[in-house]
Amino acid sequence: MGSGLTVAVYGAYGHTGRFVVARLRDRGFVPVLSGRDAAKLEKAASETGLEARPAPVGDPASLDRALAGAAAVINCAGPFAATAAPVIEAALRARIPYVDVAAEIEANVDTFANFADRARAAGAVIVPAMAFYGGFGDLLATAAMGDWTAADEAHVAYGLSGWHPTAGTRASGAVSGQRRGGQRVRYADGRLEYRDDKPPTLEWPFPAPMGPRTVIGEFTMADVVTIPSHLSIPDVRTYMTVEAARDLSDPGTPAPAPIDEHGRSAQTFLVDVVVRSGGSERRAVARGQDIYAVTAPLAVEAVERILTGRTRTAGVASAGQIFDALGFLHALAPHVSFELRQ
């Protein structure tokens, strides 16, 4: 448990940030609320009784004050193209671990490219994309690999009942779209490719009770950064059910609405991960509720494992590389159920 350790949460007043703050408290940590909007921070502080430390990303001194005395920082503030580097720099100055929940492909690529050498040399721990997109798929793919040292391809199929995106999701998506000039991206032949054609539509054989569903093929998420960062897999593809993709692209789709005492929405998910090598196939399947809410136990479990020394490496590392994937996934119960099919 957290044993009263302080953890700074940057973007604490956002939709995902609120889930992270609540989960930290459940695990015995003391969250410090931080972010760019002082008014929203003060409101969150008055609601929770926690300390607020405003810190614009362009003000290193404010960021240093926000992280002072913290054992770690979790960055929940998108777009991460704007926040990741400044908060990582502050974490390096404070000599504390950094975890974020970035789903932006380009922002995650930047984190690996710009901080890997410095973090490794300093013995620092930086874990990007420790969220539903990126970290979760990586943990499942790593668990599915088992004793394989390489595979030909990995497929991550997202079976979402629907997708009510947050304002943060929309803002981050807009930034990513601008950065890639409106092109789509996929990971093939060991590299990211930017393309102008439309992604394919196909049927994915989700396990029962969901069953086969029409999906957008090459609906590329952060898994194409995290998985190949440490697994020898030259082709990584991600897929999304057409209903969820339609919700995301519709500007009129409302934000998530809470339906239970935990603030979760009615959204359910099934993530089906398949890795193939030669004629063999291995599979990991996970189920749960609310992709934003489940990001909180992912990020907080990561922080607790880092602070208790249950890590396999230092530097910039994805979830499947730095943690014991099977143990981590088991620790997510009851938030997530999963099974291996090998």
Question: 52-56, 205-209, 301-305, 315-319: which range is least confident on average?
Answer: 205-209
245/318 same-domain check: no
Instruction: Based on the fold, state whether residues 155 and 138 are members of the same structural domain.
Output: yes
User: Which amino acid does the sequence have at 130?
Assistant: M
Distance CA 196, CA 27 (A): 45
Examine residue 18 and state whether it is found in any structural domain, yes or no. yes
pLDDT at 2: 67
Q: Strand ranges (DSSP E) for 190-296?
A: 191-195, 201-205, 212-216, 235-241, 268-277, 280-289
Residue 3 has pLDDT above 80, yes or no: no
Q: Is residue 84 part of a domain?
A: yes
Residue 1 lies in a domain: no
Q: Is residue 154 part of a domain?
A: yes
CB 223 within 8 A of CB 137: yes
- Residue 322 pLDDT exceeds 70: yes
Question: Burial of 195 by CB count in 10 Å (0-12 exposed, 13-18 middle, 19+ buried)?
Answer: middle
Tell me the mean pLDDT in the region 6-16. Answer: 98
Give yes or no: residues 150 and 256 share one domain: yes
Angle at 35 between CA 336 and CA 61, to 5 degrees: 130
Question: Residue 29 domain-assigned?
Answer: yes
Instruction: Give the whole-angstrom CA distance, residue 11 versus residue 216.
Output: 31
What residue numbers bound the domain in which 72 lies? 6-130+295-325
Residue 233 and residue 143 share a domain: yes
Distances in Å between the Cα of 252 and the Cα atoms of 153, 163, 170, 205, 309 are: 36, 12, 12, 30, 45
Distance of CA 312 to CAs 10, 137, 149, 214, 325, Å?
Answer: 26, 18, 16, 38, 11
Short-list 284, 296, 283, CA closest to 337: 284
HSE-up of 332 (CA within 13 Å, CB side)?
A: 29
- Distances 256 to 12, 266, 298 between C-alpha atoms, Å: 17, 8, 19
Residues 136, 253: one domain? yes
Return the beta strands (E) in 124-169 as ranges.
125-127, 153-160
Give CA torsion, residues 80, 81, 82, 83, to 10 deg.
Answer: 30
> Which of 309, 332, 297, 340 has its CA nearest to residue 123?
309
Q: CB count, 10 Å around CB of 203?
A: 10
Per-residue pLDDT tens for 150-192? Answer: 999 999 999 999 999 999 999 999 999 999 999 999 999 999 9
Residue 281 and residue 136 share a domain: yes
Mean of the per-residue pLDDT values of the chain: 97
| Tens digits of residue pLDDT in 113-161 | 999 999 999 999 999 999 999 999 999 999 999 999 999 999 999 999 9
In this predicted structure, the answer to whether residue 334 has a pLDDT above a threshold of 90 is: yes
SS3 category, 49: coil
Extract the tokens encoding 111: 């984190």
Q: How confident is the model at residue 341 (pLDDT cuts 50, 70, 90)?
A: confident
Residues 211, 170 share a domain: yes
**Bridge partners for 188 per DSSP:** 191
Pairing mode, if any, of strands 280-289 and 268-277? antiparallel
Nearest Cα to Cα of residue 215 among 163, 179, 178: 163
179 lies in a domain? yes
pLDDT tens-digit map of 71-92? 999 999 999 999 999 999 999 9
Are 163 and 254 part of one and the same domain? yes
Name residue, tokens 């000039």: 181
Say yes or no: 136 and 220 in one domain.
Answer: yes
Other CB atoms within 10 A of residue 339 CB: 11
Domain harbouring 59, CATH code: 3.40.50.720
Residues in the chain: 342
Same domain, 273 and 140: yes
User: Do the Cβ atoms of 27 and 2 come closer than 8 Å?
Assistant: yes
Contact criterion met (CB below 8 Å) for 328 and 159: no
Confidence class for position 1, pLDDT limits 50, 70, 90: low
Chain segment 202-228, per-residue pLDDT in tens: 999 999 989 999 999 999 999 999 999
- Residues 258-268: tens digit of each pLDDT: 999 999 999 99
pLDDT given at position 332? 97
* Residue 207 located in a structural domain: yes
CATH number of the domain bearing residue 249? 3.30.360
My answer on whether 123 and 61 are in the same domain is yes
147 and 200 assigned to the same domain: yes
For 37, list phi and psi in degrees, rounded to 5: -100, 105
Total domains in the fold of the chain: 2
